[in-house]
Chains A and B, each alone.
Chain A
């Protein structure tokens, strides 16, 4: 008897989801990338990571140029530019594949383009700013 697709509903393809967010005000004047927020997930072999990292940052200076980047397992995978003194927002979406089993760190980082060109700010404790990382481990 041929039996096509005998499984029915597969067991879940989402293995776990973790999230972290900035809760205390943070700032940076660094022109080298510094961490704003990290999330660590311990994964199994063969799985992939779906990553969402979002932010709303401002600058204590008019018109600086700055950068935000996403680092996965110590490697930069995405980068975005920011410009202006008013708060700006955005998010990265990334699918990380080929990572070995074990603890893997997802890092949202920021940097100013020019030293002395203002201060990068994320102040969720006092004003409408913030940053968050969500990592979903999936089997597909």
Chain B
């Protein structure tokens, strides 16, 4: 009898438990000066685990008035990190930014991870247009127990 790859546990219980990725696919804009969600992901954790979250974004501001934009990462409504992003000066050009954070220990639950954004100047429009321009945003999440 040859035994190939005997039954294994379907879900690991230690170390790297799972990973989730979400990428913005549709063109999105905002003129909001309070945080609104750009990209969201959901993950159901096993309990006594942590999330390692990586967020990347490339966006363009409609103005080159040196006002600046802000991003943040939230998990279950808790803010874990902020990320600044400059507007351009002189010529409107795309800018990039990124943050990576490690959460506090989480109980078993389904958590919503959001990448939020705002403009610091209400007359400006921030655009993230992966469908039509060289812009985009993504969230990658690892759940780990150690």
B68 in contact (CB, < 8 A): yes
B15 in contact (CB, < 8 A): yes
B101 in contact (CB, < 8 A): yes
A8, A86, A136 interface centre (most CB from chain B within 10 Å)? A86
Contact B15 A13 (CB under 8 A): yes
Query: What would 8 A/B residue contacts be, using CB atoms closer than 8 Å?
Result: A2-B3, A6-B6, A9-B9, A12-B145, A14-B146, A17-B144, A56-B83, A86-B87
Look across to chain A and name the residue whose beta carbon is closest to the beta carbon of B50: A17
Contact A89 B3 (CB under 8 A): no
Contact A4 B146 (CB under 8 A): no
Contact A56 B146 (CB under 8 A): no
Q: How close is A97's CB to chain B, nearest CB, in angstroms?
A: 18
Look across to chain A and name the residue whose beta carbon is closest to the beta carbon of B72: A128
Interface residues of B in 42-64 (CB under 8 A from A): 50, 52, 54
Contact B86 A5 (CB under 8 A): no
B27 in contact (CB, < 8 A): no
Bound Cα distance from A52 to B141, whole angstroms: 13
Bound Cα distance from A86 to B88, whole angstroms: 10
Our pick among B67, B100, B145 for the contact of A134 (Cβ within 8 Å) is B100
A129 in contact (CB, < 8 A): yes
Q: Tell whether A88 pairs with B84 under 8 Å between CB atoms, given A5-B5, A8-B7, A14-B146.
A: yes
Interface secondary structure of B, over-half rule: strand
Contact B9 A8 (CB under 8 A): yes
A67 in contact (CB, < 8 A): no
Chain B residues with Cβ below 8 Å from A17 are: 50, 52, 102, 144, 146
Interface residues of A in 1-49 (CB under 8 A from B): 1-6, 8-9, 11-17, 19
A87 in contact (CB, < 8 A): yes
Contact A3 B102 (CB under 8 A): no
Our pick among A14, A84, A129 for the contact of B14 (Cβ within 8 Å) is A14
Look across to chain B and name the residue whose beta carbon is closest to the beta carbon of A12: B15
Our pick among A9, A13, A57, A134 for the contact of B16 (Cβ within 8 Å) is A13
Contact A88 B85 (CB under 8 A): yes
Bound Cα distance from A14 to B2, whole angstroms: 31
Our pick among A14, A53, A128, A130 for the contact of B15 (Cβ within 8 Å) is A14
Contact A4 B2 (CB under 8 A): yes
Bound Cα distance from A93 to B142, whole angstroms: 14
